[in-house]
Amino acid sequence: MAHTLRIQVLLAALAALLAALTLGALNAPVAHAKADCPGAGKSPNQLRSGQARDAVLCLVNKQRRHHDLGRLHRDRKLQRAAMRHNRVMVSKRCFSHQCSGEPSLEGRLRQVSYLRSGLSRYAYSENIAWGGGELGTAFKIVKAWMHSPPHRAAILSRTYREAGIGFHDKAPGRVGYSAGTYTIDFGLARG
């Protein structure tokens, strides 16, 4: 009887140890990504715009690297388009790829001269998201995009070479908590 009880205690201890190790292993990539990308785990009201943009690009490039893809390079024109779109979404309380009175994504990319006549090859796409509190961290936003097939496809596309990110520390609507709105514009423009 004592022998059986001792075996049960040992098995329970072993199960607890395995559970702890498994949880630790599952959480390791999360902690690693946040540590590698400064600002990735900060709530929106703790982030400056530049920190948020850097964290998103870092996290996106981390995903691309994990899938053996080249990194995206920051493009100022794409960034300007993404930042303008974010401002429009927040000011008009509109969460959409095209808010009332705003040009389409192609039109916005032409306004900032990313798309121009004479290009031999071009492609573009856009991901938008917003979240409140912890769900508004750059880490959670990129994680949500990676769990959405069309957003994931844009992040992992072999076509795109550049990206521009917009961030606003407000929601595209009235909420009673800290929130962040994100836009990432992906592109390829070759003359």
Please say if the pLDDT value at position 75 is more than 80: yes
- Rounded to 5 degrees, φ, ψ at 107 are -60, -40
8-45, pLDDT tens digit by residue? 544 444 444 444 444 444 444 444 566 699 999 999 99
How far apart are alpha carbons 56 and 133 in whole angstroms? 16
Nearest-5° angle of CA 153, CA 157, CA 158? 160
pLDDT of residue 191: 82
Give the DSSP letter string of 73-99. EE-HHHHHHHHHHHHHHHHHT--SSS-
Please say if the pLDDT value at position 3 is more than 50: no
- Is 141:179 a contact under the CB 8 Å cutoff? no
- Burial status of residue 133 (CB atoms within 10 A of its CB: 0-12, 13-18, 19 or more): middle
The sign of the CA dihedral 59, 60, 65, 71 is: negative
Q: What is the average per-residue pLDDT within 35-63?
A: 95
pLDDT of residue 161: 97
Give Cβ neighbours of residue 121 (< 8 Å, ≥ 6 apart): 188, 189, 190
The CA-atom distances, in angstroms, between 17 and each of 22, 31, 103, 190 are 9, 20, 56, 55
Q: Please, what CATH class does the domain formed by 40-169+179-190 belong to?
A: alpha beta
128-172, pLDDT tens digit by residue? 999 999 999 999 999 999 999 999 999 999 999 999 999 999 999
* Confidence band for 74, pLDDT divided at 50, 70 and 90: very high
